[in-house]
Structure 1
Amino acid sequence: MTSILIVDDDINILKLVDIHLSEQGYKVFQAKNGIEALEILQKEMCHLAVVDIMMPFMDGYELTKEIRNKYDLPVILLTAKNQIEDKEQGFHAGTDDYLVKPFEPKELSFRIKALLRRYDNHSDENIIRIGSTTINKKSYEVQNGDRTMLLPLKEFELLYFLMSNPMQVFSRNHLIEQIWGLDHQGDERTVDVHIKRLRERFSKLTGDFQIKTVRGVGYSLEAKRG
């Protein structure tokens, strides 16, 4: 069942949207502010979030940024504002769509369906396969044959990046920028440690790929041919 998270400090809006979406077969989670919303997202699988902008503790822009940083799901911002600057700020925060109050529940429903279709169509972009090894950025799982693994976050992101770009050589600095960010305070050894851990996990498990050291340059993931 598709789950929708509704975040609004207006109880009447929560009830109205909940009733309308529940009638269409969606499972609805309600949150009255951004803190509650993030707590729900930690516990429940949600496929889309409808977020009000004007809320206590954390406004809709900040919540949208948090969702965008941690989860791969579309966001629709609800607001009473209709100024172009507010829309611009919403899209900069990472929202996928924008609906101005007062709105017709049917219009919200149309927008939800359109966004869910768009995300479904792009879901394969999050999945990479090399031989019998599959890495899924939506679920953060690595599957090899019948075995499913959950890696530490940075190991996962490093492996995902290398599997996305097989047979290419990357310097340690480049990998730090891609995985840890430009403001990372550590040194190049951080990459070496994570590469070592990935090799230890996968070298005996699969021959689908190998992470090779390119002396004086960095690392490259070599995929098995055929």
Structure 2
Amino acid sequence: MVKILVVEDEYDIRELLQNYLENEGYQVVTASDGEQAIEVFRSSHVDLILLDILLPRLNGYEVCKAIREESDIPIIMLTALDSEEDQLKGFDLRIDDYIPKPFSMPVLLRKIGAILRRTMGDSISGRITYKALTLDLEGYKVYISGQIVDLTQREFDLLKVLLQNQGRVLSRQTLLNRVWSYDFYGDERIVDTHIKNLRKKLGLDYIETIRGVGYRIDYEAEK
């Protein structure tokens, strides 16, 4: 199930968004200030963030900047600040969309759906397909041309994150944050070891090493 983090300090708006999204089949977690938003992001695997700007403790721009140091997760800013300067500041921080308040719920849902299709592909329906690969997200199974491949949970999660971010270079630290979360303290080169094992098991050259930066799975060419 797709999980969305709603970051909004006004209770009524936060509750409205949560109820509406849950009625549409999304799983929702919430935060009421900037510091809590970062804590929830780091402790819960979420697929998209709806982020207000005018927040206590840390504002939305500061939250976005902190998250962007760790992840390329889709972020939509929902805010009463609608000036061109505010919008440009958000896009400079690599947000995916900027929606001024008041906003239309049906339009917001369409935008969420469009961004998730772009970033997650078939994973919304419980699977990811890429060339000869198929990932069954609910069964934690990987198939190559219909033949099952035995992966560890970490290898599966690592492959899933790379496929969900096709075309993006993910640093070792980003992969540690997304796959290991707080379960690992040590040398980030453990990512290299898992990538090596993953390549060996898959027998495919889909994972590209970007020297000095990290790893990437490129966009699948149009058929």
5 Å matches for 1:78-93? 78-93=78-93
**Residue 159 (structure 2) aligns with:** 136
Aligned residue-pair number: 161
Q: Report the CA distance between 1:84 and its aligned residue.
A: 1.0
1:17-32 map, 5 Å: 17-32=17-32
Query: Contact between 1:72 and 1:138, CA under 8 Å: does it hold in 2?
Result: no
Q: Secondary structure at the match of 2:108?
A: helix
**1:165-206: per-residue Cα shift (whole Å, max 9, x none)?**
56xxx9xxx73xx47xxxxxxxxxxxxxxxxxxxxxxxxxxx
Match of 1:71? Answer: 71
TM-score when scaled to structure 2? 0.60
Measured in 2, the distance between the counterparts of 1:39 and 1:29 equals 12
C-alpha displacement of 1:72: 3.5
1:117 aligns with 2:151: no
Does the residue aligned with 1:54 lie in a helix, a strand or coil? coil
Aligned equivalents of 2:113 and 2:34: distance in 1? Answer: 23
**Residue type of the alignment partner of 2:53:** I
Question: What is the CA–CA distance in structure 2 between the aligned matches of 1:2 and 1:165, rounded to whole Å?
Answer: 27
Q: 1:154 to 1:49 in 2, by over 3 A?
A: same
Partner of 2:28, secondary structure, is: strand
Query: Gapped runs of 5+ residues in structure 1?
Result: 142-149, 180-226
SS in 1 for 2:50: strand
| 1:154 is aligned to 2:157 | no
Q: In structure 2, the residue corresponding to 1:136 is in which secondary structure?
A: helix
Residues 118 and 9 (structure 1), Cα distance of their counterparts in 2 relative to 1, 3 Å cut: same
CA distance in 2, matches of 1:112, 1:89: 21
Deviation at 1:151, TM superposition (A): 9.0
Distance 1:75 1:63 in 2: 11
Secondary structure in 2 matching 1:154? coil
1:204 equivalent in structure 2: none
CA-CA distance at 1:154 after TM superposition: 3.2
Return closer, same or farther for 1:19/1:89 CA change in 2, 3 Å cut-off: same
Alpha-carbon distance in 2 for matches of 1:158, 1:92: 31
Distance of 1:153 and 1:26 partners within structure 2: 35
TM-score with structure 1 setting the length: 0.59
Larger radius of gyration: 1
CA distance in 1, matches of 2:47, 2:186: 23
Tell me the distance in 1 between the aligned counterparts of 2:191 and 2:61.
26
CA distance 1:154–1:98, change in 2 (3 Å): same
| Identity in percent | 31
> Which segments of 5 or more consecutive residues in structure 2 lack a partner in the other structure?
123-127, 134-148, 163-174, 177-183, 196-204, 215-223
Q: How far does residue 34 in structure 1 lie from its aligned partner after superposition?
A: 1.4
Aligned AA for 1:73?
I
Q: Please report the RMSD computed on the Cα atoms of aligned residues, expressed in angstroms.
A: 3.5
1:45 deviates by 1.3
